[in-house]
Amino acid sequence: MLSIPSSIRIFVCVVPVDMRRSFDSLAELVRSQMGEEPLSGHLYLFRNKGDTKLKILWWEDGGYALFYKRLEKGRFSLPANVGAGLEINATSLSMLLHGLDEKAIKKQARFQVGAPV
């Protein structure tokens, strides 16, 4: 299980990426395609064309870390909120990595401060 502090943001590159790319070329994609700074300490998620592989790039303690997950069967289902923007939350990332389809899950209504009752 991943434990991601709330200060870390998670950005998704919606364009499929060649999974042969490594640290520096993924960092360049973060700058050029996503308009973000890879040295910020945030997580950057990349997927392949078939949605069977994911890579996460993270700058931590003076160096890049790269996490890679390849599915033997099935596909990753990107969270529904990716279409609205390039950022997801830690819950969506966890669901994605565990094979849950967020689009098929119905979220219960909850109270939110400032929202109409």
Average pLDDT across each block of 10 residues of the chain; the chain has 117 residues. List them in order: 82 92 95 93 94 95 94 84 73 86 74 75
Could you give the CA distance from residue 77 to residue 59 in angstroms, rounded to a whole number? Answer: 25
Q: What is the pLDDT of residue 27?
A: 96
pTM for this predicted structure: 0.83
Q: What is the pLDDT of residue 80?
A: 59
The string over 94-117, giving b where at least 16 C-beta atoms fall within 10 Å of a residue's C-beta and e elsewhere, is ebbbeeeebeeeeeeeeeeeeeee
Could you give the CA distance from residue 23 to residue 34 in angstroms, rounded to a whole number? Answer: 15
Residue 24's nearest CA partner among 61, 69, 62, 57 is 57
Q: What is the pLDDT of residue 6?
A: 85
Residue 74's nearest CA partner among 98, 55, 57 is 98
Residue type, 110: R
Residue 59, strand partner residues: 64
- How do residues 35-50 score in pLDDT, each as one tens digit? 999 999 999 999 999 9
Report the side by side order of strands in the sheet with 53-60: 63-70, 53-60, 43-47, 10-12, 87-88
Q: What is the pLDDT of residue 95?
A: 85
Q: What is the pLDDT of residue 98?
A: 86
